[in-house]
Amino acid sequence: MRYGHFDDERREYVITRPDTPLPWINYLGCEAYFGIISNTAGGYAFYRDARLRRITRYRYNSVPLDYGGRYIYVRDNASGAFWSPSWQPTRHPVEDYLCRHGLGYTVIGSSQAGIRAETRYFVPLGEDLEIWQLTLANRRAEPAHLSLFSCIEFCLWDALDDASNFQRNFSTGQVEVVDGVIYHKTEYRERRNHFAYFACSEPLEGSDTQREDFLGPYRGWDDPQAVARGASGNSHAHGWAPIGSHHVRLALEPGERREVRFLLGYHENPREDKFDPPGSQTLNKQTVRPVIAKYLQKANADAAFAELRAYWDQLLGIYQVHTPDEHVNRMVGIWNPYQNMATFNVSRSASFFESGIGRGLGFRDSNQDLLGFVHMVPSRGRERLLDLAATQLETGGAYHQYQPLTKRGNDAVGSDFNDDPLWLVLAVAAYLKETDDWSLLAEPVVYENKPGSEQPLYEHLQRSLQYTLDRLGPHGLPLIGRADWNDCLNLNCFSDEPGESFQTTTHREGGVAESVFIAGLFVLAAKEMAELSVRAAQRLPDLAAGRPDKYRQAAREMAATALAHGWDGAWFLRAYDHFGRRVGSDACEEGQIYIEPQGFCVMAGLGLEDGRAEQALASVAERLATSHGIVLQQPAYSRYYLHLGEISSYPPGYKENAGIFCHNNPWIMIAETMLGHGDQAFDYYMRINPSAREEIGEVHRCEPYVYAQMIAGRDAPTFGEAKNSWLTGTAAWNYVAITQWILGIRPTYDGLQVAPVIPAAWSGFTATRVLRGVTYRIEVRRAGPGRAVSLQVDGVPIDGDVVPPPPGGRDRVRVAATLG
Ligand code: GLC
Ligand code: GLC
Using the mean position of ligand 1's atoms as its centre, give its distance from the Cα of residue 487 in Å: 6
Cα distances from 553 to residues 23, 467, 529, in angstroms, run 51, 16, 11
Q: pTM value?
A: 0.98
Using the mean position of ligand 2's atoms as its centre, give its distance from the Cα of residue 289 in Å: 44
723 CB near ligand 1 (under 6 Å): no
Residues 426 and 524: their CA atoms lie apart, in Å, by 8
pLDDT at 404: 85
709 CB near ligand 1 (under 6 Å): yes
Residue with CA nearest ligand 2 atom 4: 487
Mapped onto helix, strand or coil, the DSSP state of residue 140 is: coil
Contacts with 480 (C-beta within 8 Å, 6 or more apart), sequence order: 418, 489, 491, 492, 513, 514, 515, 518, 575
Contacts with 366 (C-beta within 8 Å, 6 or more apart), sequence order: 344, 347, 384, 388
Ligand nearest to the CA of 731: 1
Q: List residues with catalytic annotation.
A: 487
Using the mean position of ligand 1's atoms as its centre, give its distance from the Cα of residue 601 in Å: 19
Amino acid at 136: L
pLDDT at 809: 86
656 CB near ligand 1 (under 6 Å): yes
pLDDT at 513: 97
CB atoms within 10 A of CB 785: 9
pLDDT at 547: 82
Ligand nearest to the CA of 420: 1
Residues 813 and 777: their CA atoms lie apart, in Å, by 6
ω into 635 cis (within 30 of 0): yes
Amino acid at 31: E
The residues of the chain scoring below 70 in pLDDT are: 545-546
**How many helices (H) and strands (E) in the chain?**
21, 42
Using the mean position of ligand 1's atoms as its centre, give its distance from the Cα of residue 744 in Å: 26
Which spans in 403-547 are helix H?
420-435, 439-442, 457-469, 516-539
Residue with CA nearest ligand 1 atom 9: 365
Residue with CA nearest ligand 1 atom 6: 486
710 CB near ligand 2 (under 6 Å): no
